[in-house]
Amino acid sequence: MDKGIFITIEGGEGAGKTTLIDRLAHTMQERGRKMMITREPGGIPIAEQIRAVILDKQNTAMDSKTEALLYAASRRQHLVEKVLPALQQGYMVICDRFVDSSIAYQGYARGLDVEQIWSINRFAIGEMMPSLTLYMDIPPEVGLARVRKASEQDDREVNRLDLEANSFHERVREGYLKLTADFPDRIVKIDANRPEDAVFYEILSIIDERCAGNDIMSVKKDNEG
């Protein structure tokens, strides 16, 4: 039986992750690949309930450490209940966000200690990390304009993170760029400020190249510690 492949898609608000993942799922299924798409926070009932708390626009009083802990709790349940079983059955799992989101959002953007965020998440996920992470990079002002347009067309609900100041989203991007520089073997930066087809076909090519052997299920966090 083939081992599963764990791929994560990261990016700031409005980067186009959802559209991309839907296209990837369709393409892989057409190829006959066992495929599962999921998301964080969420993906299973318990994690979806935590997601509702995290993203509720009414919860503006949420403490940054509370937020970080909720993400980690959701991540743990999602991992053991959905992701790991799928990988063990040989699925390609593509997940919208994983641990890098916590580092970028709660670490760099919220100003929490980055090593403490890693520590919380090490407890949650152990040594389980993606084989490949695709970071969709886009200027925050472009991404947020996409969010506003989609919300006006009722294609996307505005959540608590969308309401943060532009400076917050700039720090998120800086965090992702730092992670990309720190872990080049795992994270590939994609220019998402281009036509959808250009982004999609570049990412499809990268997945085909990096996962050709289908011999890696997961890797430890690069340069852990």
Q: Which residues are annotated as a binding site for ATP?
A: 11-18
**Which residue is associated with the tokens 């919380």?**
120
Q: Which residues are annotated as a binding site?
A: 11-18
Check: CB of residue 39 under 8 Å from CB of residue 79: no
CA distances for 172 relative to 13, 69, 103, angstroms = 10, 18, 9
> At 198, which amino acid appears?
A
Backbone angles phi, psi at 13, to 5 degrees: -65, 135
Check: CB of residue 131 under 8 Å from CB of residue 211: yes
Give me Rg for the CA atoms of the chain: 17
Backbone angles phi, psi at 215, to 5 degrees: -120, 10
